A and B are shown apart, each in its own frame.
Chain A
């Protein structure tokens, strides 16, 4: 698929952060210096990638990542609830093994969330919502246990921890991205 440089630049203009619009003009001007069509396309694609990176680095981009993470959490939570209703394939020892792995991750998640209270607004929201979801999920799974008689308490506990574990993974992915891409701390 050969996308024309104009199309790449159209997308670049859409995603580049406002404070980088001067760079967009500079990149457009350089495109005019390139004669070969394939080189022009490659250059324009590179500019799009650069804009994508800048977008991810900006606060707006991080907030977007946080919101995307939240959407993923809700999706993962929905899957977990669905599993609670239907899954009966796990034995108790396996569930306990899962809980042993997931518990340290949950603790790390809580520490990470506390750390993020001083960080970017989107990630603050992420942390707060993550806490709520984890608490709700754990409470629901523990207290709803007698209703779903075929599922052992170990499995339910493990599942609630697993949900929190997914949250932890996504949270730390967000933290890692902010650490990696924050322009204030990023080395050239």
Chain B
């Protein structure tokens, strides 16, 4: 059984940020104003559905651990565009996102 439900506003925020460029988790938190407890479940779900890829990247400064960067897949980009079109009114108002 699969439910096709419109993505939540929080998911739209994440998608809209990822449409711009690949992002790290903390950067996404700051950009979307979402807390880690909300952001990570969304990222996990999007990755599970094949909309995101998570890749480990070497740190820019020494002594820091590698970080995971999140990037939309082509399927994810199509999904994001569709989702943001549906939610355009509210999302645009809050985030200034245009699709």
The chain A residues found within 8 Å of chain B, CB to CB, are 20, 22-23, 25-30, 32-34, 42-50, 53-54, 183-188
Chain B residue nearest to A20 in the complex (CB): B44
Q: Are B25 and A188 in contact (CB under 8 A)?
A: no
By a CB distance below 8 angstroms, the chain A residues around B2 are 184-185
Expressed in whole angstroms, the minimum distance between the Cβ of B61 and any Cβ of chain A is 10
Task: Among B38, B41, B65, point to the contact of A29 (Cβ < 8 A).
Answer: B65
Q: Are B37 and A26 in contact (CB under 8 A)?
A: no
Chain B residue nearest to A182 in the complex (CB): B1
What is the total of A-B residue contacts with beta carbons within 8 Å?
A: 85
The A interface, classified by DSSP as helix, strand, loop or mixed, is helix
Q: Are B11 and A188 in contact (CB under 8 A)?
A: yes
Q: Are B40 and A188 in contact (CB under 8 A)?
A: no
Chain A residue nearest to B35 in the complex (CB): A46
Q: Are A27 and B37 in contact (CB under 8 A)?
A: no
By a CB distance below 8 angstroms, the chain A residues around B7 are 187-188
Task: Among B8, B11, B24, B44, point to the contact of A23 (Cβ < 8 A).
Answer: B44
Task: Among A32, A49, A185, A188, point to the contact of B42 (Cβ < 8 A).
Answer: A188
Number of interface residues of B (CB under 8 A): 33
Q: Which of B5, B37, B46 has the most CB of A within 10 A?
A: B37
Q: Are A187 and B36 in contact (CB under 8 A)?
A: no
Given contacts A46-B35, A187-B3, A188-B49, contact A53 B24 (CB under 8 A): no
Determine the distance from Cα of A66 to Cα of B51 in the docked complex, in whole angstroms: 32
Determine the distance from Cα of A24 to Cα of B51 in the docked complex, in whole angstroms: 20
B54 at the interface (CB under 8 A from A): yes
Q: Are A32 and B65 in contact (CB under 8 A)?
A: yes
Q: Are A47 and B37 in contact (CB under 8 A)?
A: yes
Task: Among B4, B25, B45, point to the contact of A26 (Cβ < 8 A).
Answer: B25
By a CB distance below 8 angstroms, the chain B residues around A49 are 36-37
Expressed in whole angstroms, the minimum distance between the Cβ of A23 and any Cβ of chain B is 6
By a CB distance below 8 angstroms, the chain A residues around B35 are 42, 46
Task: Among A42, A47, A183, point to the contact of B48 (Cβ < 8 A).
Answer: A183
Q: 10 tightest A-B contacts by CB? A: A46-B36, A46-B37, A49-B37, A188-B45, A26-B68, A50-B40, A187-B5, A30-B25, A29-B65, A30-B26
By a CB distance below 8 angstroms, the chain A residues around B43 are 23
The 0/1 profile, CB within 8 Å of A marked 1, for residues 50-68 of chain B is: 0100100000000011111
By a CB distance below 8 angstroms, the chain A residues around B8 are 188
Taking A29-B64, A185-B3 as known contacts, 7 extra A-B pairs with beta carbons closer than 8 A to each other, sorted by chain A number, are A22-B54, A26-B67, A33-B67, A45-B36, A50-B37, A53-B41, A54-B44
